[in-house]
Amino acid sequence: METVGQIRVPPVSKLAAWRRINLQWMIVGICVAMVAYLALMPLGFLIWQSFFTPQTATKAAKFTLDNYATAYTSVETLRLLGSSLHFAVGSASGAFVIGTALAWMNERTNTPFKSVFFALSIVPLIIPGILFTIAWILLGSPKIGILNLLLQNWFSTDYVFFNVYSMWGMIWVDALGSSPLAFLLMTAAFRSMDPSLEESAMMSGASIPQIAWRITLKLTWPAIFGTLLILFVLALEAFEVPALLGLPVGIQVFTSAIYQAIHQYPSKIGLASSYAVTLLLITTVGIYFQSRLSSQGSKYSTVTGKGFRPRALDLGKWRYLTAAIFIVYFALIVVLPFLVLIWSSLQKFYSVPSMAALQNLTFDNYKFMLNYPTLARSVGNSAMLAFGSATIIMLVTSVICWIVVKTKMPGRWALDNLASLPLVFPGLVLGLAIMVFYLNFDIGVYGTIWILLIAYVTRFLPYGLRANTTSMLQIHKELEESAAMSGASWGSTFWRILLPLLKPGLLAGWIYIMIVSIRELGTSILLYSPGTEVISIMIWELWENGQYVELSALGVMFIIALFVLVMVAQLVGKKYGVKEA
Amino acid sequence: MLSVKKLYTEYPNDRGEVVKAAQDISFEVPEGKLFTLLGPSGCGKTTTLRSIAGLERPKSGEITVAGTAVYSSDKNIFIQPNKRNFGMVFQSYAIWPHMNVFQNTSFPLDVGSRKFSKKEIEERVMRVLTTVGLDEFAGREATKMSGGQQQRLALARALVMEPKLLLLDEPLSNLDAKLRERMRFELKRMQRELGLTTLYVTHDQSEALALSHEIAVMSAGHIVQIGSPRDIYERPSNKFVADFVGLTNFLDAMVEAPEANNSGYRVNSTIGQLSVTSFDRLGKGDSVLISVRPEDVELTEQRPDGPNVIEGKVDFKVFLGEYLDYQIKVGEHQVLARAHTSVKVAVGTTVYLRMNPEKCITIQNNL
């Protein structure tokens, strides 16, 4: 289709045509320029900064290799790399094993109540990482952890059963935290597999382990490897767990090291940048292989589009065991953390559940939090940022997607990659890059809420792109062409045909970005300033102040509010979603 | 009315090679006529249609409608599709799922450059919906319609803007066989009643024969023959047309002599001596190809009188409901004959084939 590539103007309607083309190119131009600016500027400056000394009032920035020299000649860095990889590999494999086992049980066995379980699988995604980590500190800390104290009480010993303040504790909490994602990814992989492939193996006389090993595993191999890579990159990028569990006992990974380099006096932005560039290199390699894998996936493509579900494996009596595993898992990931937050939110001072403590239940913390001076502002900031970034992202990426999917514009693959580029940025690194950029280029956004909006839009741009690409691909090009034949201009086609048809995808992506924006901590923590706090920052500050019980009250309200938001959003989505053609 | 001159289109394929989609396409469609582009998939018919619609930009050539150029490479004119005022029915119908029947139909009036009042829009939409028989479904969800109804809705949407030209891109190919035949009649009736100049694209030869005033058969980016349905069927100008439009028997032959009494020739074919009709001048010793349609091969058990009678043996027969197909073995060659079901000849028996010399056509063997 060359309607986009070249447009010649007939002399008769010169002015009108010029205006129309202008609108189309203006919107396309603004979107492309915005994406390019957001994706490239911070990255460029991060790399630039890593080669310079920090600029101060008395000294100008000078070129230096010292940052890298410091970063790469010390044994410390080797240890940092070692512990980062240890943490990331451990967390990724842990989450993968949990998620895959659950996905298999859910998709391929006759475990009772599995549909209920699948519906519940969205709940853990709602709990913000920082609250999940804090809840697990309250559960598994050697001194105050409820699990330890209860078990010590029962067995009358001083033995520490769980210690979350350790590498294995960090891996445990982070793996649990990302296991729902592994579950969803592997569920999708199992679902997209044509069951007849397994059935024909069975008809050929293969046993169940043989089928699992030689057919199922081999066919899901790209999905397995892709999932592992995503989990690995996510664990490398994780900030909450290493900062809250690792730093107090001196275990550093890249993200927490970057945070410490900035939050010491004088702050070592150059060193932080060189750590950040290193981390960025690793995540880039991970994301690159992951995208290669998913684009190669068509070779392994096993999607048949047929609606039938595979025959569920009859587990016999074992199905009660698998059901029990589901329940235990759900307890570990949602019920226990949430209950411990509720419990601590009702206490005057943090204490272990006991009859005595039951007497002291109080709602004072809730009253305290609701009267907290910065609460209203933080909630307002979070809501405005979430709403703003989700709306901007979905609209901009719908145009970007249209260019990538529907036109033959030269260089559109570059645009796709550009908009996906922020994927490689760990939240903290993106925060650092944006901080460095706007410190050097003072256009008046540093220290305001706009810098957070810019950061959120940049960070979650790829999510919007994915959500829109999926639905854009499903829109038959004749739906657009028939609008053109009906006399509609590009603008009215986009507004009246494409956007309404994209609505389900737009809405889903919009809700998702709202949720991840509200939960966001790693980027915000480097960019907020008094007056622009968001809720997750408030929780972080309360934790630093040791106000655990007040924090718990805020956390409980936060989780309930997020849950209500998701439920309402789903209802709205169902009501206003477009019926399938 | 519609005039296409020396249209040439090429585009790069996935591997970057240049594909010549349509080459040297020229034809005229008079006012009020239905013109069909017929050909197998990949022959360039859809590219030609989309070029006329303005959805694709050709490399060179000229397209004029009612004397106004909508595309001309010489004068550097390319009018955007949304300014051409052509109605188009897409193969997938492209019914917008987020609008109901009325909204789908009124869309061209809402977005067009001409502004209509609300009342006018309602009048026009209801009139066109009545024409296609969907007036009682105006408020219905477009996705709740059956295939045939969606097809009529797509037609209504194309007609509501009172287009200068109606473009139909395989509009019947998504329907089941029964419905397709019914819609074929409806489409023909509506086109003839409205007198709308129509360009129709299909790969289905029976559709083309049934609907068209004139057909252009396309192959590999070229138009290979333009003619009335009867011309195309009875006087194919080359092997491709004879083969693509309907079933036929091809027989290699050598010209022996002109017939004394008519315009025909006597030839020596692979199944014996035949008297044939030719539209070209042939000389003795020329090698030609003879085309005989299976329905023009008459079968009898007793040797009939007259010319062009060949003896053969029934090799195989297939019952197809309305008729029977017989494979007849003549020497080393197979001849297909299509007979009424009342003709009953057992496999293995000797039969006589009679072919009317007027129905045995010589064609040039160059394609």
- Tell me the pLDDT tens digit for each residue of A390-434: 999 999 999 888 888 888 777 777 888 888 888 888 888 888 888
Tell whether B148 is within 8 A of chain A (Cβ): no
Sorting pLDDT into bands at 50, 70 and 90, what band is A6?
very low
CB spacing of B55 vs A3 below 8 angstroms: yes
Residue A20: per-residue pLDDT: 53
A419 and A470 belong to one structural domain: yes
CB spacing of A476 vs B88 below 8 angstroms: no
The bridge status of strand B323-330 relative to strand B333-340 is antiparallel
Q: Report the CATH number at residue A433.
A: 1.10.3720.10
Kindly identify which residue of chain B lies nearest to residue A495, measuring between CA atoms: B111
- Tell me the pLDDT tens digit for each residue of A41-91: 888 888 887 787 766 556 666 777 777 777 777 788 888 889 999 999 999
Q: How many CB atoms lie under 10 A from the CB of residue A375?
A: 17
Residue A110's contacts (CB-CB under 8 Å, 6 or more residues apart) are A312, A313, A314, A315, A319
A501 and A440 belong to one structural domain: yes
* Whether complex ipTM tops 0.95: no
CB spacing of B88 vs A485 below 8 angstroms: yes
Mean pLDDT of chain B: 88
A221 and A356 belong to one structural domain: yes
In a domain, A228, yes or no: yes
The CATH H-level superfamily of B2-243 is: P-loop containing nucleotide triphosphate hydrolases (3.40.50.300)
CB spacing of A578 vs B95 below 8 angstroms: no
* Separation of alpha carbons A207 and A213, rounded Å: 10
* Separation of alpha carbons A87 and A80, rounded Å: 10
A298 and A441 belong to one structural domain: no
Q: Are B102 and B125 in contact (CB under 8 A)?
A: yes
What is the percent of chain A with per-residue pLDDT over 90, rounded to a whole number?
18
Who wins on pLDDT, B58 or A353? B58
Comparing CA positions, the residue from A183, A91, A135, A117 lying closest to residue A559 is A135
Count of residues for chain A? Answer: 581
Sorting pLDDT into bands at 50, 70 and 90, what band is A135?
very high
Identity of residue A390: A
DSSP string, A350-364: -----HHHHHT--SH
Sorting pLDDT into bands at 50, 70 and 90, what band is A575?
low
Q: Are B312 and B353 in contact (CB under 8 A)?
A: yes
The partner residue sitting opposite B86, judged by closest CB among A485, A488, A492, is A485
A302 and A408 belong to one structural domain: no
The bridge status of strand B34-38 relative to strand B198-202 is parallel
Place of tokens 């923590």: A525
Residue A340: domain span = 66-306+314-362
CB spacing of B97 vs A487 below 8 angstroms: no
The bridge status of strand B297-300 relative to strand B287-292 is unpaired
A357 and A375 belong to one structural domain: no
Residue A11: per-residue pLDDT: 44
CATH 2.40.50.140 residue ranges for chain B: 247-363
Place of tokens 């003879």: B290
A149 and A3 belong to one structural domain: no
Q: Kindly state the average pLDDT of the residues B59-85.
A: 90
Q: Of chain A residues 99-158, which have a CB less than 8 A from chain B?
A: none
The partner residue sitting opposite A3, judged by closest CB among B81, B86, B158, is B81
Over its C-alpha atoms, chain A yields an Rg (Å, rounded) of 26
A472 and A511 belong to one structural domain: yes
* Separation of alpha carbons B101 and B317, rounded Å: 49
In a domain, A287, yes or no: yes
Give the HSE-up count for residue A222: Cα atoms under 13 Å, Cβ half-sphere. 19
Comparing CA positions, the residue from A508, A405, A404, A384 lying closest to residue A456 is A384
Residue A201: per-residue pLDDT: 64
- Tell me the pLDDT tens digit for each residue of A167-193: 999 999 999 999 988 988 888 887 777
In a domain, A319, yes or no: yes
In a domain, A29, yes or no: yes
Number of domains in chain A: 2
In a domain, A513, yes or no: yes
A260 and A400 belong to one structural domain: no
CATH 3.40.50.300 residue ranges for chain B: 2-243
Count of residues for chain B? Answer: 367
- Tell me the pLDDT tens digit for each residue of B249-282: 998 888 888 877 666 888 888 888 888 888 777 8
In a domain, A338, yes or no: yes
Tell whether B80 is within 8 A of chain A (Cβ): yes
Closest chain B C-alpha to A119 CA, distance in angstroms:
28
Closest chain A C-alpha to B95 CA, distance in angstroms:
7
In A51-74, which residue ranges form alpha helices assigned H by DSSP?
A: 66-73
Least confident stretch, A426-430, A441-445, A510-514, B4-8: A441-445
Tell me which CATH code domain B247-363 carries: 2.40.50.140
Q: Are A422 and A458 in contact (CB under 8 A)?
A: yes
A321 and A378 belong to one structural domain: no
A187 and A143 belong to one structural domain: yes
